[in-house]
A = this chain, B = another copy of it.
């Protein structure tokens, strides 16, 4: 065992996989969800910004955005300052979708949290900022 964090890393990967599998029938895929969450949290984005954020090529992101526009969750609007750029924003339906999805996932996660002891829950709350730091590093 060359590294004491192997177990931690594996547990993280596994838990995250379980979370990702928590999606409703007929739901949007992982890439689409990421875009909707991003626009919800960071406001209107250009295509390039979204592609970079998800580390995906612009044509790929363009297709993803196209699907979400067709579904009525996003709007594409040409920028007034720079006509090359587009501004991608949420519709009301998109905003509602994000809220609903977040609610459902939080509920799933909270149910699992409920099986822990008070001490374990306390530990989780304290480790949250550390995980955030790791993710952003």
Where the two chains meet, the residues of A that have a C-beta atom closer than 8 Å to any C-beta of B are 2-9, 11-21, 55, 102-103, 105-107, 109-110, 112-113, 115-116, 120, 123-137
- Specify the main secondary structure of chain A where it touches its partner: helix
Check B125 against A126 for contact (C-beta < 8 Å): no
Q: Which residue of B lies closest to A34 (CB)?
A: B17
Check A106 against B2 for contact (C-beta < 8 Å): yes
Choose from B21, B120, B128 the contact partner of A133 (Cβ within 8 Å): B120
Check B4 against A125 for contact (C-beta < 8 Å): yes
Choose from B17, B55, B109 the contact partner of A9 (Cβ within 8 Å): B109
Check B127 against A127 for contact (C-beta < 8 Å): yes
Q: Which residue of B lies closest to A105 (CB)?
A: B9
